[in-house]
Amino acid sequence: MVSAYDVRRVRSCFPALTEGVAHFDGPGGSQVPQQVAEAVARTLTSGIANRGAVTAAERRADEVVLGARRAVADLLGANPAGVVFGRSMTQLTYDLARALAKGWGPGDEVVVSRLDHDANIRPWVDAASAVGATVRWADFDRVTGELPVQAVAEQLSSRTRLVAVTAASNLIGTRPDVPAIAAAVHAAGALLHVDGVHLTPHAPVDVVALGADVYSCSPYKFFGPHHGVLVADPALLETVHPDKLLPSTDAVPERFEAGTLPYELLAGTTATVDFVAGLLPGEGDRRSRVLASMAAVEEHEERLLARLLAGLAATDGVTVHASPARRTPTVLFGVRGREPREVYELLATRGVNAPAGSFYALEASRWLGLGDTGGVRAGLAPYTDDDDVDRLLAGVAAAVA
């Protein structure tokens, strides 16, 4: 039981919240605390050069990169030597898929899930199709929104090379049983690529306990700057050979980081992990403070999610799409007599930001029968409070035609 979580203190760190808008758009990208913005600005204006060991400016760039790898490792329970930075999760996944596919051919199989964001589907589909490998689909339950382990397990064979699955759906919040999926995938001799973009802002993450061979996420979803992160065992990364420039190093993890890294964004990500570690005041090393803070976030968001779901259920004319048992606080719904976009616009006039769409989880939206239109998405964040939820519920009630 944790409960010293003080949402008022957390909110005071976000300059954007003084604008008075209730933000339910966190699954698309969170707001940013002052200290993260300051770390970015400080790095841009300090003496900095390319990474090296001769000048102070070179050493600063080097320390920014190494510091960010340590921070991400503390956030995810990963090895800093297996932390790779890139432009976005999408770019990292495309690059990895192309590199892994060099070792695949006709007869090999990859498994993707219909629950996933397209960034953990299309890179694998495209890479498989380029080398003549087969794609198999794991379907989720349209009513509950659950992705049973069996749905993935029954797609596995001795030819499966990789399985791509999300740790949490950015559309309906489902959190599949990733450790059980990992056990099945590993028993088949395949690799598991886990999309952690939507889980990371909402729960403590331990990539080893999840059984993820590769786990990716995006700091801009959890208060940080816009770039992507991929983590894996460095021994696994040693076996993968992406295209690279001749003069650039072949060392891991740099082998995967084409071109010059965005040092200022990486400094921002270190500040982000420090901020996350401080969400719940406490003692101990950064990893244990991250775990305690994220457990407190989970509890805070679960309480607000119950309030939101109860309020939506009590509003005549509102349909919540899917009701997974284990979920993030991300709710997709429709309102009788209104297109999702109309609801989104009506809410916006009341200072409530809850966008509409399929949010790139296009396969999931179609599978749910919502086509390419999707629904209205309300995503809670660590800075969401009771007042925000009540404003959303009042806006939704007013939108029912």
Ligand X SMILES: Cc1ncc(COP(=O)(O)O)c(C=O)c1O
Task: State the minimum distance, in angstroms, from the CB of residue 302 to ligand X.
Answer: 20
Q: Do β-strands 375-379 and 330-335 pair in parallel, antiparallel, or remain unpaired?
A: antiparallel
Cα gap 297→9, rounded to integer Å: 13
> C-beta of 217: minimal distance to ligand X in Å?
8
User: Min. distance of Cβ 261 from ligand X in angstroms?
Assistant: 16
Calpha distance 29→355 (Å, rounded): 12
SS3 letters for 215-260?
A: EEECHHHCCCCCCEEEEECHHHHHCCCCCCCCCCCCCCCHHHCCCC
- Smallest distance from ligand X to CB 28, Å: 6
Smallest separation (angstroms) from ligand X to the CB of 219: 9
Pick the closer one to ligand X by CB: 225 or 334.
225
Q: How near is the Cβ of 197 to ligand X at its closest, in Å?
A: 3
Q: Which is nearer to ligand X, 27 or 176 (CB)?
A: 27
User: Which residue lies nearer to ligand X by CB, 108 or 216?
Assistant: 216
Provide the binding-site residues for ligand X, judged by CB under 6 A. 27, 88-90, 117, 119-120, 166, 170, 195, 197-198, 218, 228, 360
> Among residues 218 and 272, whose Cβ is nearest to ligand X?
218
Closer to ligand X by Cβ: residue 292 or 294:
294
Sequence-separated (6 or more) residues with CB below 8 Å from residue 27: 170, 198, 221, 330, 359, 377, 379
* Phi and psi at residue 231, to the nearest 5°: -125, 145
Bridge-based pairing of strands 191-195 and 214-217 is parallel
Considering beta carbons, is residue 185 or 194 the nearer one to ligand X? 194
